[in-house]
Structure 1
Amino acid sequence: MLQVKIVPVTAFAQNCSIVWDDDSKQAVLIDAGGDAQKLQQEVEALGLTVQALWVTHGHLDHVGAVGELARVWQVPVIGPQQEDQFWLDSLQDVSARYGFPIPEPVHVTQWLEGGETLSLGSHQFEVRYAPGHTPGHVMFYSAEYGLLWTGDVLFKGSIGRTDFPRGNHQQLLDSIQRECFSLPDDTQFISGHGPISTIGYEKQFNPFVASKAG
């Protein structure tokens, strides 16, 4: 069975997900955005073996601990799409501007394009490419459990910002329609910040996209 523990990290309270297979105790971290020692302690307390670090996009609060944890655990970094390379290249500069600890560089092992299947134990996840918040943003979807990790594409009652470099509002709306709202209404999603919601709820009530849900 698939298990998930959400651990908020950084001053931005970014939802890092520890995702693991109950049988094998194999785990991945989705968006290890900071507080590396805290995440290590959580993983150790759960008795897990981390297999990889999955990344939705290159913003500092989603990748701040990735470089350090990849080195400590000797695991691959999977994602995002390569258009976010410029965000990863500027990670230290951006962190300094925000007054964050200067993170170790992030070296991506496998860039994603969308459509790939990632595995964790016996569980499979579909990669969905959803640019707009950043040009290389991806999401991870478990059809088996009806669970989607949206990063900063879609939130409960809101959507991602597009005022950062290479953000694109229309592209974001298109991504939400194509990659989120095409999923079953009862699909739950874990976003980069804030509470869990469902696709059906956002179609009906999200003021940024509800009227466009059809």
Structure 2
Amino acid sequence: MSLKLHTVPVTPFAQNCSLLWCDVTLNAAIVDPGGDIERILAEVAARDLKVVKILLTHGHIDHAGATMPLARRLGVPVEGPQREESFWLDQLPNQGQMFGFPPAEAVTPDRWLEEGDTVTLGEETLEVLHCPGHTPGHVVFYSPAAGLLIAGDVLFQGSIGRTDFPRGNHQQLIDAIRGKLFVLPDETVVVPGHGPYTTIGDEKRHNPFVADARYR
């Protein structure tokens, strides 16, 4: 397995921006660059990585706020989320003002992603799962080979994403977690958008919002 991961906490919301790279080619993706561009690029340089794309799980400011200046600086495309997320990506300038973030630009990805799509990174392939509920176009990235899930704000250690934002949908979120994430192997490592890593098995057994008595 040659897929490697390092997370960089960014923005006042301590969002887990993920560096993913193929250890064979050193081709890398930056997932959810919400801000703190220099901090992210320092981690890239320390590992001598070649960033080839930016991946977005969803369009909230703490995940996507630095996308456009970073994409221009690196000369790389933006892939994801699913196209319903234009609702949030178009509002990034307003989100920045609302939450006191630096000015942010609206984002139009070079490639929208849909359920069943794949994203390549050197010799690695990530599967795309559309998991709406927190936001309408939220996607997650799953590597079966690495047993790794980049979950954005869908699933956290002991918690789930908020659904009280515009176009949030609690039932959609629960259905996505149980129907798409909880069918993954129990040992799958979950990298949430905030907070510590967890595993699918632990959340199936212990997460009070979605745990199933069958797994306890």
Aligned-pair CA distance for 1:174 = 0.2
Query: Aligned-residue CA RMSD in angstroms?
Result: 1.1
1:42 matched to which residue of 2? 43
CA distance in 2, matches of 1:5, 1:56: 17
Equivalent residues of 1:96, 1:102 under 8 A apart: yes
CA contact (8 A) 2:7 2:16 kept: yes
- Structure 2: 5+ residue runs without aligned partners? none
Asked if structure 2 preserves the Cα contact closer than 8 Å seen for 1:133 and 1:168, the reply is yes
Report the Cα distance in structure 2 between the residues aligned to 1:198 and 1:19, rounded to whole angstroms. Answer: 18
Q: TM-score, normalised by structure 2?
A: 0.96
Aligned partner of 2:135 in structure 1 is 134
Deviation at 1:103, TM superposition (A): 1.8
**1:29: which partner in 2?**
30
Hey, what's the Cα distance between the residues in 1 that align with 2:90 and 2:141?
23
Is the CA contact (8 Å cut-off) linking 2:58 and 2:135 kept in structure 1?
A: yes
1:186 equivalenced with 2:187 (yes/no): yes
Q: Secondary structure at the match of 2:162?
A: coil
Distance 1:133 1:213 in 2: 26
Residue segments in structure 1 that go unaligned for 5+ positions in a row: none
> In structure 2, the residue corresponding to 1:112 is in which secondary structure?
coil
- 1:68-118 deviations in whole A, cap 9, x for unaligned? 111101101000001110111110111111111012332310001110111
What's the counterpart of residue 124 of structure 2? Answer: 123
Q: TM-score, normalised by structure 1?
A: 0.97
- 1:84 aligns with 85
C-alpha contact (below 8 Å) 2:24/2:123 kept by paired residues: no
Corresponding residue of 1:98: 99
Q: 1:201 — aligned with what?
A: 202
CA-CA distance at 1:151 after TM superposition? 0.4
**1:101/1:200 CA distance change after superposition, 3 Å:** same
For the residues of structure 2 that align with 1:213 and 1:200, how far apart are their CA atoms?
12
Moved over 6 A (4+): none
**Kept after mapping to 1: 8 A contact 2:158/2:207:** yes
Q: Secondary structure at the match of 1:15?
A: strand
Aligned residues: 214
Q: Does the alignment pair 1:177 with 2:178?
A: yes
**Residue 210 of structure 2 aligns to which amino acid in structure 1?**
V
